[in-house]
Chain A
Amino acid sequence: MAMPVRAMSTLAWRNLWRNYRRTLIMLLAITVGVWAMIFMTALLRGMVDNMVRTGISSLPGHVQIHAAAYRDDPSVSHSMPAPSKSLLEVLNNEQVLAWASRIKVPAMISSEQDSRGVILLGIDPENEIALGFDISDITGGRFLNGPDDHGVVIGKKLVQRLETRLGKRVVVMSQDPENAIADRGFRVVGVYEADLESREDNFIYAGREVIQGMLGLGTDISELAILGHDYREPEALATSVRNAVPADREVLSWLKLDPYLSTMMQVMDGFVLVWMVVIFLALSFGLVNTLMMAVFERVREIGLMRALGMRPSAIIYQVLVESLMLLVLGLLAGNILAVGTIVWLKDGIDVSAVSEGMEMMGASSVMYPVLQYPDLILANAVVIVLGIITSLLPAWRAAQYRPVEALSST
């Protein structure tokens, strides 16, 4: 016999509101639980996303090419030639959004007052901007005009440490391929600020050709950074590039270059699911209790329905439909609240009070919630699926009542 769906649905809906206070409390619990699932996940996703993007967007890129021994000893002696024709073909195809070749060597920068160890980056500024350097990070002076710019751009934190300022001269010293000291004077033409103060402290930018000249490298470079379309899928790009370079080059995606970040990203997916399940488990006790109470209060009515000819399976269906209605209402409200909160906080949550701790993790001091549709779908699916499973016990219990006992209960 077909289940009288409409009759059951009408009955379920009206039964839901028999004790409207209890129903409203349960609805509120589900709404808050769903909100927490979605919003907190968006916040965590945003944090990890920010960490990853900050970490890889401007310097590492999605894929890097080095000479084989460079990462063990990032000195000028492990440079490599400029990109070959076959590599340039790969770099100019649609897989690649941007690329930049760099000199990247350890160096010493000295002002009148102090000296610091830094990483000297010889760059093509136009390519670096395409790769992800944010020109708005330049908060004093200007960025470099080209690979032959004779100025240097340093971080705000480094300016403070060196007790220098815009327009002043500094000396940058490193080693050439013959291990001789190579140094040159630069004028500070620009000051930048970064999300991470450690970056401001460590990286200085000069023109690539100027640094190549200073170090006697000719056209050789230290690394080539490549930006693809999706930081989550860098391996395909890495494979294409690997096929176009000699065997003595090391081609690595950011997943391998920064295992901390890649682990964070991988752990995040598992964490999201665990987080959602934990929240729902906390909710489920209330849900089971609500349904059990609803069933206990209607023992006589259930007995009546059995006496009138409803099968035990129909009783189970009846209780499950009631539970489903409660869950759907809670999901609706929770989703609206969560999405509303995320939109409202689209400019981010300022956590600069704990910025040092955030920086240790590689995250900025402003947290932006990032809503990903798979997370939204997952949250709803967890609530529906686990909610139905949780409801099976009270539903089964309801179907077990013997009609004559149920009818005689008070």
Chain B
Amino acid sequence: MSAIICTDLCKYYQQGDAVIKGLDHVSLEIEEGSFICLSGPSGSGKTTLLNAIGGLDALDSGEISIDGERVDLLGKAALADLRLHSIGFVFQAYNLIPVLSARENVEFVMQVQGISSAERKQRSSKILKEVGLEGMEDRRPAQLSGGQQQRVAVARAIVSQPKLVLADEPTANLDSKSMESLMAHFRELNRSHKVTFLIATHDQRVMEWADRLISMEDGRVVSDELQQAIR
């Protein structure tokens, strides 16, 4: 995936008589293998931008290209295929399927992809071990703590080896140790497999891991700086 190119993105929301600018003429270019943090206060447009790039939300205007393909022009089925094969999501709320176990949640995307049972089991066991959930594979979300659920969600996002990971406050409910472990894992994936990471966060400690920091406010990009990742 060579680049994500966002050109003049606009997304507006109507709230009564007021028009809220979710995205206000946002333009960005993201190279393959980037590790980027999106920062900004609540309502600044971070989630809106992630949703737009992931094809979860339609724009009012603007263009998004991923690997040369116009995402904003794709139909529902094509967008679903793009998300299935190329994009991993980590949401602000853990968003696990409550009737599936931790392992089944992690394997869900791979099942939809058509990966064999043996390979699914092998990958899910490995990733759950890496996120520190070995021995909890058969527990349902209701039997896991908030942090554990988030780790399942992260495992699900990366187990299918996507080229792009869009993470919205992935460490919000994690303790420091878990946060460090998670970010280290992200960074490893980024460096070894050139997985592109776009992480929306308030957490300064998370921002320290990024190569590039984009700040947003009121739907606009207010700063876009490269930095030396501390980790």
Interface string of A6-26 (1 = CB under 8 A from B): 110011001100100000000
State which of B34-42, B93-101, B169-177, B191-199 sits at the interface with chain A: B93-101
Does B71 make an interface contact (CB < 8 A)?
Answer: no
Partner of A1, one of B81, B89, B156: B81
Q: Which of B100, B104, B111, B113: most chain A CB closer than 10 A? A: B111
Number of interface residues of A (CB under 8 A): 27
A382 to B223: give the CA distance in the assembly, Å: 64
A103 to B76: give the CA distance in the assembly, Å: 82
A129 to B113: give the CA distance in the assembly, Å: 73
- With a CB–CB cut-off of 8 A, which chain B residues contact A7? 108, 111-112
Does B135 make an interface contact (CB < 8 A)?
Answer: no
Which residue on A lies nearest to B50, using beta carbons? A404
Interface string of A377-410 (1 = CB under 8 A from B): 0000000000000000000000000111001000
- With a CB–CB cut-off of 8 A, which chain B residues contact A1? 81, 84, 112-114
Q: Which of B152-174 contact A (CB under 8 A)?
A: 156
- With a CB–CB cut-off of 8 A, which chain B residues contact A6? 111
Number of interface residues of B (CB under 8 A): 28
Q: Which of B72-92 contact A (CB under 8 A)?
A: 76-77, 80-85, 89, 91
Given that A11-B97, A407-B91, A407-B95 are known contacts, is A308 also in contact with B109, CB under 8 Å in the complex? yes
Q: Is the interface of A mostly helix, strand, loop or mixed?
A: helix
CB < 8 Å A-B pair total: 77
Q: Which of B54, B77, B91, B112: most chain A CB closer than 10 A? A: B112
Partner of B98, one of A301, A310, A403: A301
Q: Are A18 and B99 in contact (CB under 8 A)?
A: yes
Partner of A307, one of B54, B76, B99, B113: B54
Q: Are A301 and B56 in contact (CB under 8 A)?
A: no
Q: Are A404 and B112 in contact (CB under 8 A)?
A: no
Does B57 make an interface contact (CB < 8 A)?
Answer: yes
Interface string of A298-324 (1 = CB under 8 A from B): 001100111111111110000000000
Q: Which of A1-54 contact B (CB under 8 A)?
A: 1-2, 4, 6-7, 10-11, 14-15, 18
Q: Are A311 and B114 in contact (CB under 8 A)?
A: no
- With a CB–CB cut-off of 8 A, which chain B residues contact A311? 76-77, 80-81
**Whole-angstrom distance between the Cβ of A158 and the nearest chain B Cβ:** 74
- With a CB–CB cut-off of 8 A, which chain B residues contact A10? 100, 104
**Whole-angstrom distance between the Cβ of A66 and the nearest chain B Cβ:** 72
Does B51 make an interface contact (CB < 8 A)?
Answer: yes
Which residue on A lies nearest to B162, using beta carbons? A309
Q: Are B83 and A307 in contact (CB under 8 A)?
A: yes
A11 to B107: give the CA distance in the assembly, Å: 13
- With a CB–CB cut-off of 8 A, which chain A residues contact B108? 7, 308
Which residue on A lies nearest to B114, using beta carbons? A2
**Whole-angstrom distance between the Cβ of B205 and the nearest chain A Cβ:** 26
Which residue on A lies nearest to B107, using beta carbons? A7
Given that A4-B114, A311-B80 are known contacts, is A404 also in contact with B99, CB under 8 Å in the complex? no
- With a CB–CB cut-off of 8 A, which chain A residues contact B54? 307
Which residue on A lies nearest to B88, using beta carbons? A308
A402 to B156: give the CA distance in the assembly, Å: 21
- With a CB–CB cut-off of 8 A, which chain A residues contact B89? 307-308
Q: Are A308 and B99 in contact (CB under 8 A)?
A: no
- With a CB–CB cut-off of 8 A, which chain A residues contact B80? 306, 309-312
- With a CB–CB cut-off of 8 A, which chain B residues contact A11? 97, 99-100
Given that A2-B114, A306-B80 are known contacts, is A407 also in contact with B99, CB under 8 Å in the complex? no
Q: Are B100 and A14 in contact (CB under 8 A)?
A: yes
- With a CB–CB cut-off of 8 A, which chain A residues contact B83? 307-309
A6 to B113: give the CA distance in the assembly, Å: 13
Q: Are A312 and B91 in contact (CB under 8 A)?
A: no
- With a CB–CB cut-off of 8 A, which chain A residues contact B114? 1-2, 4
Q: Which 7 residue pairs of A and B lie closest in terms of their CB atoms, listed nearest first?
A: A309-B84, A14-B99, A7-B111, A404-B57, A309-B83, A311-B80, A403-B56
What are 7 A-to-B residue pairs whose CB atoms are below 8 Å? A10-B100, A10-B104, A307-B83, A307-B89, A307-B91, A314-B112, A407-B91
Given contact pairs A18-B98, A309-B82, A309-B83, enumerate 6 new A-B contacts (beta carbons under 8 Å). A300-B95, A305-B97, A307-B89, A307-B95, A308-B83, A402-B58
